[in-house]
Structure 1
């Protein structure tokens, strides 16, 4: 269903948001709506938050925060304003509009679970901001994986009217007693970064099957390493998935015949065994993030069903950090195989084509420079793949003595995705060039549509020339290349 060219709303209820929904919304393709039943539950939690402070001490409502947890406060709305102002100290570059939209969507969905004690008027204001593309100005630096306090404080101050909107704007909304901390207790900005890059990595990994299949044809690969019998003997889910997809793309329907080589290089032969862990890691990461974007991270957490408030550490994102570290490491291994296949594509012994796929006078360089470009990107990827979970931080006078650094892990994941895209782009340029030179017959193969699409986008000239545009076009084409084989 569409309305004025815009797809139907995503209805938020605090429990059913998907990572793909976040990506679609961040791109500006849908509107958001809130579930009335869930909003009624939000109001019940708000009322309980007001009542609970009469019978017990509540962190951030009757006390200060952090190491000020034992300092008794007035518990007023003014206390909340001071909390917003003191925590709105983010620095550095600004978040992109896409990330801010994703952050607001995630936070609104979490609030819809009804455990933060924030009044429905605040949630309605966030929904109105999203549907009018009214976005706060939010700085990137200021979080360590235990709530995005600076980003959400800047957002809250914008909602109350103390900071200017970056785009658009909605009427200022009041935050009542205790609601500032309830709004700020979330890793929504980190989760926004993580969700966007996770879907990108998932799509790039799927596209890498198509790129590897084109290289397989150009290199005259052996089908034996992809045989069902081989992978049934070691049935890791991602490995089995990769081998099956390669069989589909390459039209392998029967018992495989021997290849032109008794043993292919690892870039072809070990592709399922290396790609498999990456597929599994990113799938697990997406599962973790789906839990997080539908979770209650607030401290304290209000439970209407228990008629009580719980002080807790759901704001800690160790799951996210560990899953991001694992995913980045596995993608690095896959990128190494892509660079290895590129090395095979420029080797005459592997292709029976001229060295560097050159065409022209003796000594022509062809695609020689692509190896340098790919390994530069691979080196950047390697640095970005280093784990963040080996370090921690002790802050707030020693009270908060551990940090996940999931925020940094998400930022590094985006660097990994950018570099991996370049490596795959280099391989694709070389594979398509080799197939042009070989005049390979791909008529009856499912991968043919991807090859035809790539040929229509990449420059057909074989003479020595700058390859910058080719690599950039190939890198931008990857997701469409993957979709072309299944549409």
Structure 2
């Protein structure tokens, strides 16, 4: 893993992906340290003047009117964290936690949070050393920041709770000692700066975006395979059709289909056939997958901005000596971006399942019933298509927008919330479902193409079939298919298909 120096607030989405995949770690330069120290000094100056400032010498939320005495300020920060450690549910994955830490450090390092550099350095050391707090995944409504999950992160920095060291769970104090760290004592404003913010929602949304991008690319390959397996027409991918529609994603995606299908012997064999039009699941792929691309590009822009934003409260402006209270912790942008990603994932899987249903239907596909030699004696792909149908329907329910939901909290002080944390967290389940659906299509289309031998598909699509056949043999007779499906899913997880679409798809999704 390499260490890369970044300017806080100016980290690209491609860099965030490398950070997420643990290929690089973050460090900031000397100017950042100076900026952070100047901001922290401004907080201390205001505190010394005795001015009441939210989160510095007052209570929190509905208790903001309660003034805290100077000798109780450190205790205030400690109690804040302890009272907010109320998360529940399965722990966040280590890759998400590492990303949360780096996102938080990136926000705090921009000089508007009033926190000591030593605290930020501790965050960076934890992430780089793979010493990661155990953070429950549930308990945030995505407004006033991701308070509960971030509190579990901060509690671990204070030696409370548990951490994972390269996957091994242990008490936080023991884990910190392994990297030569003592538990930290929070100073004025540091507790509220650390737990206000959208970093958990953003990390989960970012992970969902990266998965959705891979699914989109893989879905383009499986969709092209299905076109050739069913002897579909390539006319619907003609650039002129998409130019007059003017939709950017549609035009980009149509170009990918043209390149994937170029040079197919199967395609050449039926150029002059009598069939006029294919079903929508083949013919309208550029329109559907292009719209998904447009949604992902929109979400990517929002997420990249949020990843580089400052979302705690209140914010310090050292140039004027002011501390201003606002609402940057409200995660509505991330909630809506996650909802858009959810729509894309659901549709990528939905149109794939329709192609599978077409392939197993001999009256439409022209292939043997259920893609089975000796169909009747063999059931072939009958039930694996049912699995796809079940997963697609599950994703339809999960795709219901979360951003339209709200529930008041904190005695109605926090009376409108974003639900961004759930909006982003559910993307993981949706991506798993969609990946399995695409794995089924990959298997089905490869089987369909083999009925056309000795004619072969295009070179890139033949490579996709050959890659599958290294792990999953051709179907000859009914067998225990679950292991085959799992192998195909694992291959998709390692981007066996998505890397075959090497051309940039959408400027915001470049790695």
- Inter-CA distance 362–314: structure 2 relative to 1 (3 Å threshold): closer
Q: How many residues align?
A: 481
Aligned to 1:242: 253
Aligned to 2:508: none
| Distance in structure 1 (CA, Å) of the matches to 2:197 and 2:263 | 48
- The within-5 A match list for 1:87-486 is 87-146=84-143, 147-167=145-165, 168-169=175-176, 170-251=181-262, 261-360=275-374, 362-439=376-453, 441-442=455-456, 444-478=458-492, 479-484=495-500, 486=502
SS at match of 1:157: helix
Superimposed CA distance per residue, residues 234-293 of structure 1 (whole angstroms, 9 cap, x where no aligned partner): 02111111111101111189xx96665211001111111111121111111111111111
Does residue 32 (structure 1) correspond to residue 30 (structure 2)? The answer is no
Aligned to 1:3: none
Shift of 1:295: 0.3
SS at match of 1:32: strand
Does residue 73 (structure 1) correspond to residue 73 (structure 2)? The answer is no
Give yes or no for contact 2:52–2:58 (8 Å, CA) kept in 1: yes
For structure 2, the 5+ residue unaligned runs are: 166-174, 265-269, 504-511
CA RMSD of the aligned region, Å?
2.2
| Distance in structure 1 (CA, Å) of the matches to 2:31 and 2:237 | 51
- Inter-CA distance 176–217: structure 2 relative to 1 (3 Å threshold): same
- TM-score, normalised with respect to structure 1: 0.93
| Distance in structure 1 (CA, Å) of the matches to 2:40 and 2:22 | 31
Superimposed CA distance per residue, residues 461-481 of structure 1 (whole angstroms, 9 cap, x where no aligned partner): 421112112222222223211
| Distance in structure 1 (CA, Å) of the matches to 2:387 and 2:456 | 28
Aligned to 2:170: none
Using the TM superposition, name which of 18-27 and 462-471 deviates more: 18-27
Give yes or no for contact 2:261–2:457 (8 Å, CA) kept in 1: no
- Inter-CA distance 124–270: structure 2 relative to 1 (3 Å threshold): same
| Distance in structure 1 (CA, Å) of the matches to 2:455 and 2:31 | 59
Find runs of 4+ consecutive structure 1 residues off by over 6 angstroms: none
SS at match of 2:89: strand
Give yes or no for contact 1:231–1:243 (8 Å, CA) kept in 2: yes
Aligned to 1:10: 4
| Distance in structure 2 (CA, Å) of the matches to 1:188 and 1:118 | 17
SS at match of 2:323: strand
For structure 1, the 5+ residue unaligned runs are: 1-5
Give yes or no for contact 1:374–1:423 (8 Å, CA) kept in 2: yes
| Distance in structure 2 (CA, Å) of the matches to 1:285 and 1:257 | 39
SS at match of 1:480: coil
Shift of 1:485: 5.1
| Distance in structure 1 (CA, Å) of the matches to 2:433 and 2:187 | 46
Does residue 41 (structure 1) correspond to residue 35 (structure 2)? The answer is yes
